[in-house]
Amino acid sequence: MQTEKFDVVVVGGGNAGFSAAHAAAERGRRVLLLEKGTPAEAGGNSYYTAGAFRIAHHGLDELADLLDGDDRHTASVLNPYTARDFTADMAKVTGGHNDPALTGVLVGDSQDALRWLHGKGLRFRLMYERQAYPDEQGRQVFWGGLAVGSTGGGTGLIEQHTAAAERAGVEIRYGVRAQRLVLRAGAIEGLKWTDATGGSGVLQADSVVLAAGGFEADAGLRARHLGESWRRAKVRGTPHNTGDMLTAAIEAGAATHGDWNSCHSVAWDAWYPDNEGNRAVTNQLTRGGYPLGIVVNARGERFLDEGADFRNLTYAKYGAEILAQPGGVAFQLFDASTRPRLRAEEYDLPGASVVVADTLEELAAGTGVDPASLNRTVTEFNASIDRSAALDIAALDGRAARVRPPKSNWAIPLETPPYYGFPVTCGITFTFGGLRADTSGRVLDDEGAQLPGLLVCGEMLGGLFSGNYPGGTGLTSGAVFGRRAGALA
């Protein structure tokens, strides 16, 4: 068994791991980054994202020098999203179960972390195709506190991170699985690894930074922590996030933190033939247009408020609600008036699952939904809409449907054929439970003392999210806390 020595070993080749590697390398550290996937599987969950980063800012003028040039900027409305706004959204979506110290750092460092990455050659842009709607004046209006994304989405993000790391002299090894941490006299001195060829060894390091993701790709761990029904959830992203290093860190004395009983999960194409870990379509199997329609289960009944808030603040909890329905499947319904407003990258994807019908009866037959119940649901919904309120899909417009459950905003009658039914199931993204750490990513034990030599960032850092999640916060967290961990490693 071979033994090698590095200053810093980073476990995980997603956005968080690369951010840690960049920060350590710029301090002159000799850095090794281990990626469990092969080069064709690399990038962790970050590869599968749309590349969205939620940051605090004071409007487009402040961000102009961070963004790729775009002629549309002059006809765009990007309202300020302040630190107070960001902090309030974190508390709102988690029910106040977010760690206040970690949240303060996340919010306070959010824009600066992107500027730091931009200085290393990473590129960012406004996400017109995902986060803006045209208003009556033809302006693009951004909504929901989220506007900035990586150029090239998650694929581009990983490509740019990799290039920056290589320029900085970071060594990257693919197809290597970290297995156990090496502990001596209460301090972490490195780790043991294996690879696909049967090789194994020990890496000694002054610091180990864990950025290896959660346990969402392990059905047994999902069942243990989230519930037995979660065995049937579809894994949206990397198949390599199996909780190995969470287990290893806990065995080494790390304390846990955050909500181990909930996760980020979304409405996901239920009938697409290759709907797990698909690197060709990545996040395009998400179905995020539900605020413009209604969602029914196999009984033809609505079961959630599709317009409770901006999609960015509800989408990550609705996968769990779909999983709880009969068969773990539901149907997003739209008509001819709403179908053109749906995001093309998701709903126009070649092969996207959809049932198109000229009548509700035909729609019920095609989806397998109870026809009488569906007709009753749609009739009651249409009749209950407050049509005196103006529709504004870029704002919380208060145009409500007074039914149970209510639809609080964007209530649009389903009455113009053809009708469209998109089958959705639960797509799990990442788990919320993780390790306890201070605001610089130093891992703590059950007594609150530092576990020397061990740092954590990304989805392995517990305490930020519970039950729900503000869109774009995960990549921001990875950059902020990866940078902080690497600055100490």
Tens-place pLDDT, residues 381-428: 999 999 999 999 999 999 999 999 999 999 999 999 999 999 999 999
pLDDT greater than 70 at residue 1: no
Domain contains 61: yes
pLDDT greater than 90 at residue 109: yes
For residues 408 and 445, membership in a common domain is answered with no
For residues 418 and 460, membership in a common domain is answered with no
For residues 144 and 211, membership in a common domain is answered with yes
Which residues, other chains included, contact 485 with Cβ-Cβ below 8 Å and sequence gap of 6+?
Answer: 20, 23, 209, 211, 440, 441, 442, 455, 456, 457
Number of H helices, E strands in the chain: 13, 22
Domain contains 223: no
* 3/20 Cα distance (integer angstroms): 23
Number of independent structural domains in the chain: 2
For residues 447 and 406, membership in a common domain is answered with no
For residues 41 and 17, membership in a common domain is answered with yes
Domain contains 221: no
CATH number assigned to the domain comprising residue 389: 3.90.700.10
Peptide bond connecting 405 to the previous residue in cis, omega within 30 degrees of 0: yes
CATH number assigned to the domain comprising residue 33: 3.50.50.60
Residue range 27-36: average pLDDT? 98
* 220/222 Cα distance (integer angstroms): 5
Residue 476: give the domain boundaries. Answer: 2-215+432-488
For residues 180 and 126, membership in a common domain is answered with yes
Give pLDDT, residue 203: 98
- For residue 273, how many other CB atoms are within 10 A of its CB? 8
Domain contains 49: yes
**Whether the predicted model's global pTM rises above the 0.95 cut:** yes
* 262/222 Cα distance (integer angstroms): 10
For residues 416 and 441, membership in a common domain is answered with no
For residues 208 and 318, membership in a common domain is answered with no
For residues 473 and 411, membership in a common domain is answered with no
Domain contains 462: yes
Q: Are 213 and 240 in contact (CB under 8 A)?
A: yes
Give pLDDT, residue 376: 98
For residues 315 and 177, membership in a common domain is answered with no
For residues 10 and 148, membership in a common domain is answered with yes
Domain contains 115: yes
Domain contains 274: yes
For residues 423 and 348, membership in a common domain is answered with yes
DSSP lists the bridge partners of residue 149 as 52, 125
Residue range 99-124: average pLDDT? 98
Q: Are 471 and 311 in contact (CB under 8 A)?
A: yes
Ramachandran bin of 400, using left for φ above 0, alpha for ψ from -120 to 50, beta for the remaining angles: beta
Give pLDDT, residue 136: 85
Give pLDDT, residue 190: 98
Averaged pLDDT score across all residues of the chain? 97
Give pLDDT, residue 196: 86
Domain contains 225: no
